């Protein structure tokens, strides 16, 4: 199913017919918060109220963690055969496929992302993640240690227990399944906290998981703000915490983990990623298309975005002209229109924050050569922002150093290869980087020196579940995607069996 098979009007009609659930999901049932509190989930498209969502308190989190711990201890999921767990996750992937239009609409209404991105990209990635980790379950085996003849040494992996998953609002269900799928595949129980700005697809996924045959209590969803994240991070029964969000919050979660039970933490933080255009790039127009994609996709709310465009000075003027031409194709519009390439900011506060960074660049001496302004007239009640190119930026400008999480890129000139590498690495972050060159020797030299978890060469913002994703420095700890991520949700155990009488030492 493609978003292009229906008209704008048809998508609107389908969205208006949705029955939206806003309660938490604990032990196989939708439930209110223990204190009955709710918060308003507002669509960034037009300001409409989507649902009154449970604003869970610590007591509700305790209830969810207790259900997860109880089911883990019972072995009802953990002790199923690998094939049984695999088949349940495959059924869940099938159900996501059957309900992908509903889930995509919930995602677009909740986040403002286009129906094209929600349906044609994110919902496909959700299914890919569920299928990949389902199929991996019975492909991962233990090891035999190369011991002496006196011993038989086994190295095995076993489920850890209760895994807390916390995810952001930009790609809610996709990023969630990057963590939920491998955690469940290893036999753990999960308590999932979606962002309070985009909780709806996570709430719906819980019911689909039950229909797929995942036992009650194995997958739970608690909704709400910072109090929910704090309660999970401090909870002594939670063994693992997997998070994607801001570096600031990730640092606080590390503190909570240390204050409680030293739970294992996998944290993906922010990024201020360098996208380098060398003068020997053979097709500057192609590089400009990828550069525009690299900071305009998903309204710029992508942690991997290439928002520092480092352009060799000899071609900067030519490249910026091509870039502006490409950026002008990214017209903001109503997200349910299949032709729209860019939706609104998540809320008015975020829109104002993006504008603040653009204004700071202007005040610090840069030139705004494209976009640069908020727009609330595109859809009444929505908070849109035109994609923005900041030219003649310097590395120390506020907009060049901070993650903006909006459709804004700073163009910074460099002189030579060494200068480009120095500028690219001049950041507290190290999530992604990319560069363009036909010189294979330069490819290896530059890629080796860039301090980033993912490096793209002659393309940008591409990913595959087969390759791990995560960052260096303050962009995080641990990895999503690939088999490397799956190992994170298992405890390694060494078992030594004496085959002969051995002396005590």
Average pLDDT over residues 482-504: 91
Strands, DSSP E only, in 59-203? Answer: 143-145, 151-159, 162-166, 189-193
Residues of the chain with CATH 3.40.309.10: 274-457
pTM recorded for the entire structure = 0.96
- Predicted confidence (pLDDT) per residue in 189-204, tens digit: 999 999 999 999 999 9
What CATH number belongs to 274-457? Answer: 3.40.309.10
- pLDDT value at residue 463: 87
CA distance 233 to 324: 44
CA distance 64 to 294: 38
CA distance 155 to 311: 49
With 90 as the cut, is the pLDDT of residue 261 above it? yes
- pLDDT value at residue 503: 79
Q: What single string gives the DSSP state of each residue in 66-91?
A: HHHHHHHHHTTTTTS-HHHHHHHHHH
- Predicted confidence (pLDDT) per residue in 47-94, tens digit: 999 999 999 999 999 999 999 999 999 999 999 999 999 999 999 999
Average pLDDT of the chain to the nearest whole number? 97
- The CA-based diameter of the chain, rounded to the nearest angstrom, is 82
Confidence of residue 502 (pLDDT cuts 50, 70, 90): confident
Pairing type for strands 388-391 and 408-414 reads parallel
Structure tokens at 374: 């908020």
Say if residues 377 and 366 touch (Cβ distance below 8 Å): no
Confidence of residue 1 (pLDDT cuts 50, 70, 90): low
Average pLDDT over residues 320-342: 97
- Predicted confidence (pLDDT) per residue in 413-454, tens digit: 999 999 999 999 999 999 999 999 999 999 999 999 999 999
Phi-psi region of 213 (alpha: psi -120 to 50; beta: other; left: phi over 0): left
Residues of the chain with CATH 3.40.605.10: 10-139+158-269
Share of the chain above pLDDT 70, in %: 100
Average pLDDT over residues 388-404: 98
Catalytic residues: 268, 303
What CATH number belongs to 10-139+158-269? Answer: 3.40.605.10
- Predicted confidence (pLDDT) per residue in 137-188, tens digit: 998 889 999 999 999 999 999 999 999 999 999 999 999 999 999 999 999 9
Structure tokens at 302: 């992508």
- Predicted confidence (pLDDT) per residue in 278-319, tens digit: 999 999 999 999 999 999 999 999 999 999 999 999 999 999
Structure tokens at 195: 């962002």
> 472-484 burial string, b = 16+ CB within 10 Å, else e?
bbbbbbbbbbbee
């Amino acid at each position: 199913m493609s978003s292009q098979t229906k008209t704008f009007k048809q998508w609107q009609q389908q969205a208006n017919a949705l029955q939206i659930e806003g309660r938490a999901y604990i032990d196989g049932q939708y439930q209110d918060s223990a204190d009955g509190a709710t918060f308003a989930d507002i669509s960034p498209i037009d300001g409409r109220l989507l649902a009154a969502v449970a604003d869970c308190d610590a007591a509700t989190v305790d209830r969810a963690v207790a259900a997860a711990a109880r089911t883990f201890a019972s072995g009802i999921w953990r002790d199923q055969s690998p094939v049984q767990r695999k088949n349940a996750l495959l059924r869940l992937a099938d159900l996501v496929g059957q309900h992908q239009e509903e889930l995509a609409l919930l995602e677009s209404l909740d986040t403002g992302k286009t129906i094209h991105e929600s349906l044609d990209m994110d919902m496909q990635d959700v299914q890919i993640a569920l299928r990949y980790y389902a199929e991996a379950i019975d492909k991962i085996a233990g090891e035999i240690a190369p011991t002496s003849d006196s011993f038989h040494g086994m190295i095995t992996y076993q489920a850890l227990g209760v895994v807390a998953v916390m995810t952001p609002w930009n790609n809610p269900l996709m990023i969630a399944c990057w963590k939920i799928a491998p955690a469940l595949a290893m036999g753990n129980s999960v308590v999932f906290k979606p962002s309070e700005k985009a909780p709806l697809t996570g709430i719906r996924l819980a019911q689909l998981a039950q229909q797929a045959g995942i036992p009650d209590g194995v997958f739970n969803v608690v909704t709400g703000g910072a109090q929910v994240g704090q309660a999970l991070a401090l909870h002594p029964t939670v063994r693992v915490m997997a998070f994607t969000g801001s570096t600031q919050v990730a640092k606080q979660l590390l503190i909570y983990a240390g204050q409680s039970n030293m739970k294992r933490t996998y944290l993906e933080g922010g990024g201020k990623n360098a996208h380098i255009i060398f003068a020997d790039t053979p097709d500057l127009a192609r590089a400009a298309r990828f550069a525009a994609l690299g900071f305009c996709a998903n309204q710029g709310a992508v942690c991997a975005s290439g928002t520092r465009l480092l352009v060799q000075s000899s071609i900067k003027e030519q490249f910026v002209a091509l870039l502006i031409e490409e950026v002008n194709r990214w017209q903001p519009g109503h997200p349910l229109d299949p032709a729209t390439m860019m939706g609104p900011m998540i809320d008015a506060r975020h829109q104002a924050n993006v504008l603040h960074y653009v204004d700071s660049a202007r005040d610090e001496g840069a030139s705004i050569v494209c976009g640069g302004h908020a727009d609330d007239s595109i859809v009444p009640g929505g908070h849109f922002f035109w994609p923005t190119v900041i030219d003649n930026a310097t590395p120390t400008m506020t907009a060049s150093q901070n993650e903006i999480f909006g459709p804004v890129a700073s163009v910074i000139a460099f002189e030579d290869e060494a200068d480009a590498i120095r500028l690219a690495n001049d950041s507290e972050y190290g999530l992604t980087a990319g560069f363009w060159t036909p010189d294979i020797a330069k490819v290896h030299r530059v890629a080796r020196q860039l301090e980033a978890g993912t490096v793209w060469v002659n393309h940008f913002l591409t990913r595959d579940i087969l390759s791990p994703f995560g960052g260096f420095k303050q962009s995080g700890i641990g990895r999503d995607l690939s088999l490397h991520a799956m190992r994170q949700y298992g405890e390694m155990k060494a078992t030594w069996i004496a085959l002969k009488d051995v002396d005590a030492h």
